[in-house]
Amino acid sequence: MSSAPVTPKGAATRAFLLQVAAEVFAERGYAATTMAELIARSGLTKGAFYFHFSSKEQLALAVIEEKQRQWVDSVQAAISAERQAIDQLRIVALELVRVHRDDPSAFSVSRLTRDLSRIPHVTDLVRDHTRAWVGLLAALIAQAQADEDLPATIDANDLAALLVAATDGLKDLGTLIDAPTRARRAFARRMDALIALVDALRVRPADSGSAGA
């Protein structure tokens, strides 16, 4: 017999649980979070909670997938207003800052991907999510190179990996050196510095008037 179809109420409950779990994982990380804490934070009974998610691992993977879907949707909407890949690349970084400012639970993704990547039977799945991030940026970088807005001497995949690593690293760094009340503002400020570094790579028409006479 096939499983019962998902009802609107069931879908809403699942979305609620994913958001609650994302908030807890963002605060505590995967290892320090317990199912008992997640259930308590949700306000649901144990049976109702386990109806939707049977394990912490299953829930964490679902959080990564859902937060990534939200992020990709918001990025695609934001960059659609720009025609040039180089400008779209900049918008990606700005949108990332906006998402983390408006929804601090988005920080759960970097923490979960780092922690779950150490679990052998889910490593490949987590890597696929990370590779999707890198691939999105690499495609924009490659197009910006084709448009002659970025130097062709830089490998697009390497630069994309560097940007993803820098962004995730900034999230982790903030938990170590910033007070919780300042973490989001500091993240936004450092992302501005990262954007400035990418802007510095941008190829601009030579200013013949400024070259040496």
How many CA atoms does the CB half-sphere of 203 hold within 13 Å? 13
- Is the entire prediction scored with pTM above 0.75? yes
The CATH classification number of 57-201 equals 1.10.357.10
User: Domain map of the chain by residue range?
Assistant: 57-201
Are the CB atoms for 99 and 106 separated by under 8 Å? Answer: yes
Work out whether the CA dihedral 92, 177, 159, 132 comes out positive or negative: negative
Task: Using alpha carbons only, give the angle 44, 48, 51 rounded to the nearest 5 degrees.
Answer: 140
Alpha-carbon gap, residue 28 to 6, rounded angstroms: 30
Task: Using alpha carbons only, give the angle 170, 172, 176 rounded to the nearest 5 degrees.
Answer: 105
Q: What residues contact residue 202 under an 8 Å CB cut-off, 6+ apart? A: 86, 149, 150
Would you write out the chain's pLDDT as a tens digit for each of its 213 residues?
334 456 888 899 999 999 999 999 998 999 999 999 999 999 999 999 999 999 999 999 999 999 999 988 999 999 998 999 999 999 999 998 999 889 989 989 988 998 999 999 999 989 998 898 899 999 999 999 999 999 999 999 999 999 999 998 888 888 789 887 888 889 889 999 999 999 999 998 764 344 444
